[in-house]
Amino acid sequence: MSSIRFIHTLVLLAAFFSAFSLSVHAAWYQASASSKVINGQIDAARQNAIEEAVKQALLFSGASITSSQQVTNGLLTQDLFMVRASGVVNEIELVEEKIHRGQLSVTIRADIFADNRQCFTADYKKSAILLPLQIRNQNQAQIGGLYELGLTLGERIYKTMSQTATHLNLRDYYTNSILYASRGDKNQKSQIADANILSILAEKSDVQLIITGEITDLSMGQPNNKVAQWFTGEHAERYFEMQISIFDAFSGEKIRTFEYQSEAMWEFDVRRPVDIRSRKFWQSAYGSTITQNIAKATNEIDNALACTSAQGRIVDTKDLQLRFNLGRANNVHVGDRFKILHKASFTDKAGHSRPHFIVSRHEVEVTQVYGSSSVARSVNNQLLGNIQPGDIVRPSGNFDLNGKPY
């Protein structure tokens, strides 16, 4: 085994960061490949093997490539592999290299940002659950008695998203929120605790994504006469701000946070509670503003997840066959092919534990499809002996040199 060498990207196009309004989601992927050593040319074999391993890692990450040359487009010396990337590969680590019977094999680990400029994964719906929104400052909910607004708001988001989302399979609405409200920057310990909670939720709910949020501002504006407002119930402007976050249920990482800010007249008596489930509330100026924010959030979240690669969890395996938790509701069909990934972790240079995925050599083809699950069989009739429940499946990526699926 060679010593571990860290290989950094030399060029990341600045346009990659300015061309997209959507934030990107990075993850570590591990892949292996080999190449035959011809006429003793070890360097050439090493370059071919590394290029193929990087290509595999990119495909399984959901990124799109036109050819391995575009991905690497670099040159290989004895100890340094120089990588040029189109804003996709951030860092590569050569984990292992060995030569056996004329075959040079490498194992690489790559930090990949999915390139959203092209999307070949939109056909499959991503499974998700929604948690109620929390109110950051409960004191602000006192006027009107809006203490249950987070629960009601979550119900409305769930209903709207279930009816209109084209890239999401929203499976459930969990009425008991588990994640704590934001308290600014969290330390690593609390992040790990949240990741563990997310993992438990993912297993119980059979989903890939967890959506939750927070109402960050319910405060009243400043009327001309505060005393008169309290005694007369004078109308005043009221703010509404919320954040909605999407978490990767497998890694516990936050993919993206959406923020919404608005205000409207509070048409109700500030001294009396309001029925937040009533038509009167939702037809008021303030309720209508919230409804507009719900529609905007639903649309933006659905669009943001269009190019996120669908992934499912293996729930059972035996000999040549396995079952995973994506089905008809996710647009899975008989004949679709999936690759298998093992979930793992490693410690980075800063000493932090990072989740990553190890690409398996196995590929399976779907033979039976149910509502929320599918049965698949090994393509090459290879025993799935090292595959176990909890491993992950992703749609196989088949692309020609022009980046087109075939």
Average pLDDT taken over every residue of the chain? 76
* pLDDT higher at 239 or 193: 239
Q: E strands, 101-187, where?
A: 103-113, 126-135, 168-173
Q: Give the angle subtended at the CA of 23 by the CAs of 70 and 241, to the nearest 5°.
A: 170
DSSP state of 139: G
Q: Could you give the CA distance from residue 396 to residue 376 in angstroms, rounded to a whole number?
A: 13
Span 60-97, pLDDT tens digits: 665 544 333 333 333 333 333 333 333 356 678 888 99
Pick from 289, 294, 297, 275: nearest CA to 238: 289
Helices and strands counted in the chain (H then E): 8, 17
Q: Could you give the CA distance from residue 118 to residue 115 in angstroms, rounded to a whole number?
A: 7
Span 283-305, pLDDT tens digits: 999 999 999 899 899 989 998 88
DSSP state of 114: -
Q: Could you give the CA distance from residue 30 to residue 91 in angstroms, rounded to a whole number?
A: 12
Q: Which two tokens stand for residue 32?
A: 């292996």
* pLDDT higher at 115 or 170: 170
Least confident of 65-74, 145-154, 240-249: 65-74
**Between 149-164 and 285-304, two packed helices, what is the crossing angle to 10 degrees?**
50
Q: Could you give the CA distance from residue 320 to residue 342 in angstroms, rounded to a whole number?
A: 17
Sign of CA dihedral 24, 340, 197, 28: negative
Pick from 396, 273, 260: nearest CA to 340: 396
Q: Could you give the CA distance from residue 251 to residue 10 in angstroms, rounded to a whole number?
A: 28
Radius of gyration of the chain (CA): 25
The predicted model gives 384-393 an average pLDDT of 87
Q: Could you give the CA distance from residue 349 to residue 8 in angstroms, rounded to a whole number?
A: 13
For residue 226, which phi and psi values (nearest 5 degrees)? -60, -40
Sign of CA dihedral 130, 133, 134, 136: positive
Q: Evaluate whether 157 touches 298 at the Cβ level (below 8 Å).
A: yes
Span 30-70, pLDDT tens digits: 888 888 888 888 988 898 888 888 877 776 665 544 333 33
* pLDDT higher at 311 or 196: 311
What percent of the chain clears pLDDT 70, i.e. is strictly above it? 71
pLDDT at 222: 75
Does position 100 have pLDDT exceeding 80, yes or no?
yes
Label residue 250 by pLDDT band (50, 70, 90). Answer: confident
pLDDT at 176: 59
Domains of the chain, CATH where assigned: 5-113 (3.30.1660.40), 126-304 (3.40.50.10610), 312-395 (2.40.10.410)
